[in-house]
Amino acid sequence: MFENLKTQPVDKIMQLMQMHREDPREGKIDLGVGVYKNAKGVTPVMKAVKEAERQLLETQETKAYVGLLGDPAYHDAMIDLVLKGAVARDQVAAAATPGGTGACRQAFELIRMANPNARIFTSNPTWPNHLSIIDYLGIERVTYRYFDEETRAVDFDGMMADLDGLKAGDVVLLHGCCHNPTGANLNLTEWQQVIDKLNAKGALPMIDLAYQGFGDGLNEDAAATRLVAASCPETLIAASCSKNFGVYRERTGILMGVSADKGKVAVTQENLSFLNRQNYSFPPDHGARVVTMILTDPALRKMWEDELEETRLGMLKLREQLAGELQKLSGSDQFGFVAQHRGMFSRLGLPADVVEKLRVENGIYMVGDSRINVAGLNAETVPALAKAIVDTGV
């Protein structure tokens, strides 16, 4: 049987990680993998997470299964964090998932169950795993313009023109904040226009919210998601705790199904439970329980919010430093957008041959489309990156 298996396409980011690991140069810089790192190049365990885990270790009496949908207290805590009363609690069905990827996978499965003819519209570009999962499931995919390669901002006119092709029952996949891979976001006025378009077309929004708290703040980063949920008849939200709680390996995510018709919530909940059972039965609990403890304990929550804000401001400082260094060395504002983008990522607009040159000659690793992880930098490596970029003559 195994001889019938086909070689799968190489994941370019995983390949880049491997190349970086095997590079013996001391001054190499990893800007590829989408993981937050502090100034020492470490992805730290947050103080609130350590304290919650200490308390959990002392008080937890069982490792028995929770439920197919996970712990209801986790649902409540995450719904409050993401939606903060934008809709009533009884309008939301929820399922704990193995990370944000698991939430996206279950959302796509739910879409296919609910409407086998649905098309999913995805931004160009988007997180590659979105495309991989949608294609694997055999769902028709349509791209809409999003990033303007010249201005390094959102091509909003192009986006809206492409969304004119929506049909009733289609789904539009949107990034709630900190767009991956570009870092360019819609403003709230533009979000409202997108909402109006979706409602006029009878299309359903699906929001991937992977970086809440990494852009402009916890509430600011959720503002668009809350507006969509409150304004559309139905909304799917895939949220991740990997980044803002730093619990990457604990695989802590959640899928929410919001409906203005409260009568649809119970059947949505039943279908989410069914999908969990078919896929992995009971979702991981450790990370979800730690997150719940932090969100529901005032002292732990303050500790977490303070550290998250420190992380956010640190990334903004790196953005400003990089934009400033590039401006100083090049005498041009062509990279000023770096300071305007939000989140971990920016797409610099460098040609593929320049990206390769930076890797070969300088040990600077970034994805082929010139997406960089800003959190892979520190105050010492920013000048080296800026000089290397300017020295290429772009």
Residue type, 193: Q
160-183 CB burial, b ≥16 within 10 A, e <16? bebbeebeeebbbbbbbbbbbbbb
Residue type, 304: W
Question: How far, in Å, CA of 180 to CA of 345, rounded?
Answer: 6
Residues 6 or more apart in contact with residue 53 via CB below 8 angstroms: 290
Phi, psi of 269 (to 5 degrees): -60, -40
Question: How far, in Å, CA of 273 to CA of 252, rounded?
Answer: 17
The pTM is what? 0.95
Phi, psi of 290 (to 5 degrees): -65, -45
Domains in the chain, CATH or no CATH each: 11-44+301-391 (3.90.1150.10), 65-296 (3.40.640.10)
Token pair of 355 as six digits: 């990206």
Catalytic residues: 127, 208, 210, 243
Residues 6 or more apart in contact with residue 72 via CB below 8 angstroms: none
Indicate the length of the chain as a whole number. Answer: 394
3-state class of 158 per DSSP? Answer: helix
Hunting for tokens 């590039």 — which residue is that? 326
82-107 CB burial, b ≥16 within 10 A, e <16? bbeebbeeebbbbbbbbbbbbbbbbb
Dihedral sign computed on CA atoms, order 314, 320, 321, 326: positive
Which pLDDT value is given to residue 286?
A: 98
Token pair of 115 as six digits: 């409407």
Quote the radius of gyration of the chain (alpha carbons, Å). 21
Q: In Å, what is the CA distance from 7 to each residue of 12, 60, 92, 106, 133?
A: 15, 44, 41, 25, 17
Question: How far, in Å, CA of 394 to CA of 389, rounded?
Answer: 7
Tens-of-pLDDT digits for all 394 residues of the chain? 999 999 988 887 888 888 988 999 988 999 987 889 888 888 999 999 999 999 999 999 999 999 999 999 999 999 999 999 999 999 999 999 999 999 999 999 999 999 999 999 999 999 999 999 999 999 999 999 999 999 999 999 999 999 999 999 999 999 999 999 999 999 999 999 999 999 999 999 999 999 999 999 999 999 999 999 999 999 999 999 999 999 999 999 999 999 999 999 999 999 999 999 999 999 999 999 999 999 999 999 999 999 999 999 999 999 999 999 999 999 999 999 999 999 999 999 999 999 999 999 999 999 989 999 999 999 999 999 999 999 998 7
HSE-CB of 89 using CA atoms within 13 angstroms: 9
Q: In Å, what is the CA distance from 264 to each residue of 169, 228, 230, 238, 269?
A: 16, 18, 16, 19, 9
Token pair of 84 as six digits: 């903060």
Hunting for tokens 């092709």 — which residue is that? 165
Strands 252-259 vs 234-240: parallel, antiparallel or unpaired: antiparallel
Query: Nearest CA to 144 among 176, 111, 118, 119?
Result: 119
Which pLDDT value is given to residue 8?
A: 87
Question: How far, in Å, CA of 204 to CA of 365, rounded?
Answer: 37
Residues 6 or more apart in contact with residue 342 via CB below 8 angstroms: 177, 178, 183, 185, 214, 215, 216
